[in-house]
């Protein structure tokens, strides 16, 4: 039987920390589906289509990793694609409470779906998409935290945003 695992998240944008989790999961399961959440509470920097494209480019060449997007209930999506495992990354203690709650709620919603937590390399423990966006917005070097394709996209975005800010100041 093929074991499919889903790694859901907003991936706004994907970082080396996410990739570390993906590669660990890829050695444990037959197939890993990175599921980019369409509707997220926060206003994302990248559109869903851009986030999916960046994840695709970042995992390119990894045979058992595929990328998809989803909307609505995660357990419903997992069931639809035949996945019985949800993968989440655990960083510092700050992730724990939220992740613990989500895992228990998801188990209530579907007792056949199990959540597992993977820890990244120590160097990624403090890495988040938010930090990366902040660094890029301030004109800092994000290349050690994200794949090259994401770094380029961040640069383009912050270029566009600062041009927009300059234009709006002129009016
Ligand atoms: P969300 O927007 O749902 O908080 P993200 O898209 O940022 O989630 O991340 C998806 C999953 O990846 C979450 O389980 C999150 O804890 C985990 N994650 C994010 N960054 C890292 C990292 N640097 N190392 C390990 N796991 C991470």
How does pLDDT run across 95-152, given as a tens digit for each residue?
899 999 999 999 999 999 999 999 999 999 999 999 999 999 999 999 999 999 999 9
User: 18 catalytic, yes or no?
Assistant: yes
Q: How many other C-beta atoms can be found within 10 angstroms of the C-beta atom of residue 133?
A: 20
Which one is catalytic: 56, 62, 91, 157? 91
Instruction: Give the number of the atom of ligand 1 that is nearest the alpha carbon of residue 9.
Output: 6
Instruction: Give the number of the atom of ligand 1 that is nearest the alpha carbon of residue 124.
Output: 23
Measure 95 CA to ligand 1 centroid, in angstroms: 9
User: 128 catalytic, yes or no?
Assistant: no
What is the model's pLDDT at position 167? Answer: 64
Instruction: Give the number of the atom of ligand 1 that is nearest the alpha carbon of residue 89.
Output: 26
What is the model's pLDDT at position 169? Answer: 58
User: 91 catalytic, yes or no?
Assistant: yes
Say which residue, 170 or 89, is predicted with more confidence. Answer: 89
Residue length of the chain = 171
What is the model's pLDDT at position 42? Answer: 78
Q: In angstroms, how far apart are the furthest CA atoms of the chain?
A: 62
Measure 157 CA to ligand 1 centroid, in angstroms: 21
Which one is catalytic: 10, 51, 88, 129? 129
DSSP states of 15-75 as a string? -HHHHHHHHHHHHHSSEEEEEEESS-SSPPSS-HHHHHHHHHHHHTT-TTEEEEEE-S-HH
Whether the per-residue pLDDT at 78 is higher than 90: the answer is yes
Contact 54, 21 (CB under 8 A): no
What is the model's pLDDT at position 11? Answer: 97
How does pLDDT run across 5-57, given as a tens digit for each residue?
999 999 999 999 999 999 999 999 999 999 999 977 779 999 999 999 999 99
What is the model's pLDDT at position 158? Answer: 79
Q: Which pTM does this prediction carry?
A: 0.92
CA distance 64 to 27: 9
| Degrees to nearest 5, angle at CA 90 with 86 and 91 | 155
């Amino acid at each position: 039987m093929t074991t499919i695992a889903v790694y859901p998240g907003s991936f706004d944008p994907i970082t080396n920390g996410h990739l570390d989790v993906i590669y660990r999961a890829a050695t444990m399961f037959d197939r890993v589906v990175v599921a980019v959440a369409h509707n997220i509470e926060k206003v994302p920097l990248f559109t869903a289509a851009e986030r999916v494209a960046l994840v695709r480019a970042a995992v390119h060449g990894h045979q058992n990793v595929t990328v998809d997007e989803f909307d609505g209930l995660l357990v419903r999506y997992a069931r639809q694609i035949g996945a019985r495992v949800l993968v989440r990354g655990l960083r510092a203690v700050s992730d724990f409470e939220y992740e613990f709650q989500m895992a228990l709620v998801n188990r209530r919603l579907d007792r056949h779906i199990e959540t597992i937590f993977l820890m990244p390399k120590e160097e990624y423990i403090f890495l988040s998409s938010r930090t990366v966006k902040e660094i890029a917005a301030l004109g800092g070097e994000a290349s050690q935290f994200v794949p090259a394709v994401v770094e380029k996209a961040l640069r383009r975005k912050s270029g566009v945003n600062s041009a927009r800010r300059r234009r709006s100041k002129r009016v």
